[in-house]
Structure 1
Amino acid sequence: MDIILGYLAELASIRSNFHLLEALNSDWIAYINIMSYLVPWLYFFNEKVEKGGRSNQNILFNVRCSTKTES
């Protein structure tokens, strides 16, 4: 009897989790798509920094410094 009740409770939790995932489905798909696009670029910029190249942070820092000196 305990096995049957445990099985039914597990089915109920799976069903409620499925409805929760269904509600968040579109948001999660968008998030996963964005991350799958961004992660290779972040890895690429990290490689450039390790090799002594220029990264987004350096460019942003240079732009901030140039705007501060102009004003």
Structure 2
Amino acid sequence: MILGSVFVRRGFFSCDVSSPASSRTVAMGWDAIPADHEIAGPALIGSPFTTVVVDPAACVRRSADGALLIEP
């Protein structure tokens, strides 16, 4: 589980599972994202109840009410 910390790890993202592409992936807790702060993918966002995977081509932003908004 990822809570409260921010770190970078290797992530593997690919449409072709026979040749995955490795990239630096931000991993952080849901609550560590400030409201209206945008994070470019790839990213892993963790909480006590789920983990959200943000594709390398997408970005994520946390709304003022705490929801995660992912856009391509």
Classify the TM-score, shorter chain.
under 0.3
- After TM superposition, the score normalised by the length of structure 1 is 0.17
Question: Whose helix fraction is larger, Structure 1's or Structure 2's?
Answer: 1
Which has the higher relative contact order, 1 or 2, with Cα contacts under 8 A spaced 6 or more apart?
Answer: 2
TM-score, structure 2 normalization: 0.17
Greater per-residue strand proportion = 2
Q: Larger Cα Rg: Structure 1 or Structure 2?
A: 1
